[in-house]
Structure formats: structure tokens, C-alpha cells
Amino acid sequence: MNEKPMRKLTFSQNLAAATGLGASCSFGLAPYNQWWLLFIAVPIAILGLQGLLQNNAWRIFLAGWCFGFGYFIFAMHWIGFAFFVNGTHDLWMMPLALGGLSAFLALYWAVATVIAALLARRGHPLWLSIPPAFAAMEWLRGHLFTGFPWSVFGQMVDGMGGVEQAAAFVGMTGLTFLIWAWAASVYGIWVERGWLRWSCVLLLLSFPATLLLGQWRLATHPTVYVPGIMLRLVQPNISQNEKWREGNARKIFDQLLSLTSAPSSTGLPVTHVIWPESSIPFLVDESPTGRAEIAHMLLPGQTLLAGAVRRSAPRDDAAYFTSILVFDSNANVLNHYDKWKLVPGGEFLPLAWLLEPLGLRKLAALPESFTAGGGATTLPVPGAGMAGFSICYEAIFPEAVASAVGEPDWLINVTNDGWFGNSSGPWQHLAQMRLRAIETGAPAVRVANTGISAVIDAYGREVFTSKLNAAGAFDVVLPQRGIKFGNGTWLNVPLLLLLFCAIVLGEIAKRR
């Protein structure tokens, strides 16, 4: 392939092109699902990088950073909506938060670009060096500095039909590697000759093969439901402007009670009621009146799982947690789960000693930051086996939705997407919960204050989905769990094999 058109660009034009190509890749994510753009944008980006290989490492780093910045600023633009909730005080922080986060995440892609370029200088084909470099850096992005694995390429399988089923075998990082490899193989077909070109053809053909195998898996594993477990998903649809306004607590609590007490829409008794994240705007476990009203509302034998704020002790210096409380029908708290992956800038302020004097603050209403819980937890739910608990943002971490000890029969995620309005954020959040269901082989139940509530079977199919920004009480039977392939650690084995094969193939190509 003639590379002269890209080489005629000035360095500044190359950076602008890299930014635009990265931005175009972001449309492969939900709700747009235009993943086919990757098979155009990534090969062109590799072609541009090929023309920069003789430049110094700093220029290559900057080109990779621009590609990443273009991608992340568009992929996560929905974060900016949160600053409009209390725009008078918070809107000025939006460019700093969104721009700063995108600039920081782009550093991972910049390092991956340099690694791939250095391997290419040693003789490895560039198209073969990029997938393992980017997959490794994306894994690091999900773990370093508390981790933030939102918008990884692996999430683009949401729009790829049966390809999504590969999550059960290779996990999120493996999916990221495969998608980079499939997109990069188009460039390989473009420029390579002989056996390397045929290797690229075979690699690209594994994409439709994976899709067909995934479709076969779905066709041979229909949704099966658990008899006798009827869930009620309560979505009150309370705007974020109203949620913590003084004087609204009674009105909000009454709405939750009313939706919970509505007659069953299926004619079958409701066994478990689920309220969304921070649904109750007061410390309900410390309120005798609140618990008495819950006990009066629940039918004998019913269980309530309520997203709520709790504190470690009834005193001013206590630690505050965002939690899920498990109530029996007498409103006794049987158990609780505390969120342990807190949202930076939302539930706690990183580097508060530095940022608070500059006027920056977290978005959550409490004067103090929340305290992180003890870690991933799988807890018993009366009459419904073991559940893997997670709250909101934790759904993006494969290791956070269930404990490695205690196999979950189902996953529950309570959330509040009211911060993000009609943006792409709620859709991307939902897509990630579907992947958690496929990875764990457990059905997932997502209950949103406002956003999208859903029940997802063990193979990622949505058996129920609520409308965005709609109030209601939705009765759905819990699906049965499906097949799980090992545990989360086992999912790294196929990834390591893929990386090893890429390295070996690169060495063969270099020697020839």
C-alpha cells in the first residue's frame, strides 16, 4: 500500500488526524454501536504511525496521546452532564474534570503507542505489536490508581451480536485484545505480502467465526427462569436536583412505599423488592418511623434490598457508606453491603489536600467523603440463594461484582444515572452489566433511580428493560444462572496465550 499520502502531512496535521480518528472510534460504543468504524479508523491510524516510526519517541508518544484524547473526550462526554445538576456551583469544573480525565487516560494509549513503535523498530510488524501493547495498558488502566476501565475497546462487543459471548472465555481484556487485533489485521492485509498477509486474513476471519459460535451458544442455551422468585424493580425516577433537597425526604419515601405496594402486574406474588442506589434520602436503618413504615408495607415473607446511605455509628464523627441494606418483612436489617469502588470526584476527592484549596469539590451531597467498604462480597438473600452485590460504578470492574469466594446465583447492581440525563452514559453502563453476566455465568438485575433498570439472563440477553427516565414498579421472574468457565483468574489464561502467540508470530516475522 502506498504510504506517501500520510507522509505528506505535517506533524501537526498528523496529530489532528490522530485526534479525529480516535474520536471516530468512540462511536463503536453503546448506544451508537458503529463498531465497523474501527475497521477503517484503526488501519488509517496505524498507517499514520508507520510514517512516524523514524521520529523520536516523544513525537510518537504525542501522536498516541492525541489518538487517545480524541477517543476518551468523545466516549465519556456524558460525564459533563453531571456538572449541570448543580450548575451554579459545579459547571465551572466541567472542562477541568472531563478534559483532565481524558488527558490522563490518554497517557495509557500514548505509552502503548511507544511500546508498539519500539517493537516495530526491532522488526515486529506494527499491526501485530499494537494489540498486545494496548491490551496490556488497558488492563493497567483498570487497576492502577483505583482503576477506571470505562470505554475499553472490549466493550464494543455490545453491538457485535454473538461476539459478546467470547467474554465468557477470554474476559474483558481478552476482548480488548481481539478487537484491536481484528481492526489491525485490516492494515496487515493492506500492506503485507505472502504468509503474513494470509495470517492477517485468517485473523480477520476469526471475527465472523466468533460471531457464529456466539450465536450458536445463544441458540442452544435459552433463558430459563427460577420458579417462585418474583422480583419487583422500583424505579422512582427522581431528578438529581430534587433528590437531596431539604423537605423532599417525606415525598420521596412515600413514592417508594407506593410503588412497592402496587398490585402485582403478573398476578404472581412478589418475593423480593429492590430499591435503587441511595434511594432513601435519610438514614433509614436509624429511623424507627421509617423501619415501621417499611414493615407495614412489606407482605409476610417479602425481602427488601434497598440502596441507602448508612453510617458506622450514630455519632458525628462516624464513617459514611453508600450501601445496600437487606430487610426482612419485619424491617430487620439482615445484612448489608458497602460500596468499595468509590467514584473519584463524585464520592471522594482524590488529592483533596491539593484540590480543595483551589475550589474543587466532590459532587455528592455529603460534607464528608464516603468510606470504601471491605471489598467484593457475595451474600445470602432470603429465598434467593447467593447474590453478588455491586453499586453503580462498580459494574465496570469485572472483579467487583462478586466475591471470588462463594459462587453467586445472581448479580444485583443498584445505581443512580440521574446525574447523566439523556446522554450515552446510562446505555454504556447497562452494556457493561451485560458483560458481567456473561463473564460470571450469572443473571444480572440492575435497578436504577432514573436511567435504565433491567433483568439480564446469564448469557447477556435482556429479558426486561425499562424506559429511560420513566417511573414504575416492574415485576420480573429471576432467570437461572448459566455456565461459568472457571473463575476470574482463569480468564487471564486465554489472554496470556493470545499475547504469547502475537509475540511468537512477531519474532518469526522479524527473522524472515
Residue 3, sorted as left (phi over 0), alpha (psi -120 to 50) or beta, turns out to be: alpha
| Cα 154 to Cα 163: distance, rounded to the nearest angstrom | 10
Q: Are 234 and 275 in contact (CB under 8 A)?
A: yes
Crossing angle between the packed helical segments 167-191 and 425-440, to the nearest 10 degrees: 110
Compute the Cα dihedral for 58, 95, 34, 437 and give only its sign: positive
Ramachandran class of 146: left when φ > 0, alpha when ψ lies in -120 to 50, beta otherwise: left
User: Active site includes 25?
Assistant: no
Instruction: Look up residue 169 and give its amino acid.
Output: F
- Position 66, amino acid: C
Given 243, 339, 341, 362, the catalytic residue: 339
Whether a cis peptide bond, with omega within 30° of 0, leads into 31 is yes
Of 138, 164, 192, 277, the active-site residue reads 277
Q: Is 277 a catalytic residue?
A: yes
Query: Is 339 one of the catalytic residues?
Result: yes
Nearest CA to 136 out of 112, 119, 156 is that of 112
CA 447 and chain centroid, separation: 15
From the candidates 164, 392, 394, 439, which is the catalytic residue? Answer: 392
Residues 6+ apart with CB under 8 A from 165: 213, 214, 217, 218, 438, 459, 460
- Rounded Cα gap, residues 252 and 354, in angstroms: 37
Please list, residue by residue across 349-388, b when 16 or more beta carbons sit within 10 angstroms of its beta carbon and e when fewer do.
beeeeebeeeebebbbeeeebbbbbeebbbbebbebbbbb
Q: Which of 416, 412, 464, 473 is nearest to 443 (CA)?
A: 412
Return the H-helix or E-strand segment holding 204: helix 194-220
Q: Which residues are catalytic?
A: 277, 339, 392
